[in-house]
Amino acid sequence: MKISIIGCGYVGTVTGVCFASFGHDIVFYDIDEKKLDLLARGESPIYEPSLEDLIQKNRQRLVTTSDLTAAVRDTDITFICVGTPSRDDGSIDLTYILSAGATIGKALRETPDFHPVIVKSTVFPGSTEGPIRSALEEASGKQAFVDFGLGSNPEFLREGNAVHDFCVPDRIVLGAGDARTMRALGDLYASFACPKIETSIRTAEMIKYTSNAFLATKISFANEIGNLAKKLGIDAEEVFAGVGLDNRIGPAFFRTGIGFGGSCFPKDVRALIAGAGDHHETLQILHAALRVNEDQPLKLVQLLQAHIPDLKGRRIGILGLAFKPDTDDIRESRAIPVIRALLDAGAVVVAYDPLAMESFSKIFPEIEYAPSAQAVLTADAVLITTEWEEFERLNYSGTTVIDGRRIAAASKTADIYEGVCW
Ligand code: UDX
């Protein structure tokens, strides 16, 4: 099939390149010409392991254009993959998606065939059939589900594993409001062996939010139990190894520590809470999941203060700035509240991360950035905030380590070793 991808950020690039690896022809469009230039040169506009290899291998199937009308007109199906940032109240800002919808709508005017438009961006249930549909209909002068198709196909990609998650998914969720769009989506994913859920557009949108909200809640639940386990002298890891063997529960996402970050979990949970509020529903469990997640990083600083009560002028090392290992992404990184609390207490912070120091220095120019993880170990104490593999191999002898990510090796070498949650 010929597929146009609107938006070459994380989701769009991975989706387009992976579809190409399944033999489809891709036309990428973005308002940011720099991203298109990179793709045209065979380079990835985002950091994701193995993606650039896949771009190189499929170059003949990847085309870029700054002409959106041509992209839509010359393809069989269009995926909207633009960003949906948060507003101050946690709700989703649809500005980019509506503007993409209006431009795609204009292109649909000149597209004689029935053309399905599929929303991959994460949007609150009802958004596709509501404002996005209106933007497309207004600009095209055509009717959704009759003259052009409309659907939702949410993604469940983890950063660092996105290519694998796309190519070998647990399930594929297909939402459509008309049979022709559902057929086109079915054809597109025909070679995938996993379960496929064919459903309404708003159910597909809800599955995405519910999945992320549940996983975020699972982490916060694990962290609360972990906090109690620590006080009781019980190893939370052992507890969850036992709990996770129950098939109804499962072992994943029980890693205790300083909580969840990233571009999806915090944003999606807030969006679900805000959207529920519009319908006079209070999602109490999700409110609590967020509260636990806000408190967890501060526990790391409290543990530190049990050893160094007055942090004024003390040199405190931070290992890990990315929100998780194998990414340079610092969005909602748990290192941010930890460093804020340290600076508020008057500490001098020296940090190291293998990939994320450049972006971090833009929001925290006042802290020191070390040339290596080893260099951080000369600080008065070291806090581990991201579980990069290289931090597991460090020799922490002579150091006070407060571990927010449970790096086992540290416990064997540090002079004082403490972790949150166990
Ligand atoms: C997540 C979802 O997994 C993915 O399906 C969705 O599409 C986007 O959001 P991602 O943000 O890339 O993916 O990261 P993920 O690996 O899920 O981790 C999110 C955060 O939770 C990280 O900060 C991680 O450190 C934390 N986490 C994860 C835990 O604290 N404990 C766990 O057991 C698992």
Q: In terms of Cα–Cα distance, which of 60, 64, 45 is closest to 4?
A: 64
Crossing angle between the packed helical segments 335-344 and 284-307, to the nearest 10 degrees: 50
Q: Is 120 annotated as a binding residue?
A: no
Q: What residue's CA is closest to ligand 1, atom 15?
A: 158
pLDDT for 408: 73
- For 408, residues 6+ apart whose C-beta sits below 8 A from its C-beta are 392
pLDDT of 196: 98
| The pLDDT value given to residue 407 | 87
The CB of 159 under 6 Å from ligand 1? The reply is yes
Using the structure block, give the residue that is written with the tokens 């392991």: 49
Tokens of 315: 């040199």
Q: What is the pLDDT of residue 139?
A: 97
The partner residues of 118 in beta bridges, in order of sequence, read 79, 151
- Is the shortest distance between the CB of 420 and ligand 1 below 6 Å? no
CA proximity to 326, closest of 117, 107, 21, 47 = 47
| Ligand 1 neighbour 237 (Cβ under 6 A) | no
Nearest-CA neighbor of 391 among 404, 96, 258?
A: 404
pLDDT digits (tens, 9 = 90+) for 144-202: 999 999 999 999 999 999 999 999 999 999 999 999 999 999 999 999 999 999 999 99
φ, ψ for residue 383 (rounded to 5)?
-110, 130
- The pLDDT, as a whole number, for residue 205 is 98
From the centroid of its chain, how far is CA 152? 18
Please tell me the distance between residue 104's alpha carbon and the centre of ligand 1 in angstroms.
Answer: 32
The conformation of residue 7, written as its DSSP 8-state character, comes to: -
Greatest alpha-carbon pair distance for the chain in Å reads: 72
Measure the CA–CA gap between 421 and 30, rounded to whole angstroms.
44
- Report in angstroms the alpha-carbon separations of 113 from 2, 69, 262, 391: 14, 14, 40, 56
Tokens of 262: 């990233």
In order of start, what are the domains of the chain with their CATH numbers? 2-199 (3.40.50.720), 265-419 (3.40.50.720)
Cα 216 to ligand 1 centroid, rounded to whole Å? 8
- Residues taking part in catalysis: 264
**What CA–CA distances, in Å, run from 242 to 83, 238, 239, 350, 421?**
39, 6, 5, 38, 16
Q: Judge whether 255 is annotated as a binding position.
A: yes
CA 347 to chain centroid: 31
Of 249, 300, 285, residue with least CA distance to 405:
300
Q: So what's the pLDDT on residue 47?
A: 87
Q: Find out whether the beta carbon of 157 lies less than 6 Å from any atom of ligand 1.
A: yes
Please indicate whether residue 46, judged by its CB atom, sits closer than 6 Å to ligand 1. no
Rounded to an integer, what is the distance from CA 12 to the centroid of its chain? Answer: 13
Question: Would you state the pLDDT for residue 237?
Answer: 93
* CB within 8 Å of 113: residues ≥ 6 apart: none
Q: Choose among 367, 356, 387, 393: nearest CA to 315.
A: 367
Of ligand 1's listed atoms, the one at least distance from the Cα of 386 is 25
Under 8 Å between Cβ of 144 and 137: yes
Helices (H), 308-407: 335-344, 357-363, 373-376, 389-392
Q: Check whether 158 is labelled as a binding-site residue.
A: yes
Binned average pLDDT, 10 residues per bin, the chain of 422 residues:
96 98 97 96 92 95 95 96 95 96 95 96 98 98 97 96 96 98 97 97 98 98 96 95 98 97 96 97 98 97 96 98 94 98 98 96 97 97 96 93 87 87 78
Residue 266 near ligand 1, beta carbon < 6 Å? no
For a mutational test of ligand 1's pocket, the pick from 265, 300, 329, 406, i.e. the residue with the most ligand atoms closer than 8 A to its C-beta, is 265
Contact 119, 171 (CB under 8 A): no
Q: Across the chain, how many H-helices and E-strands are there?
A: 17, 14
CA of 211 to the centre of ligand 1 (A): 11
Predicted ipTM beyond 0.90: yes
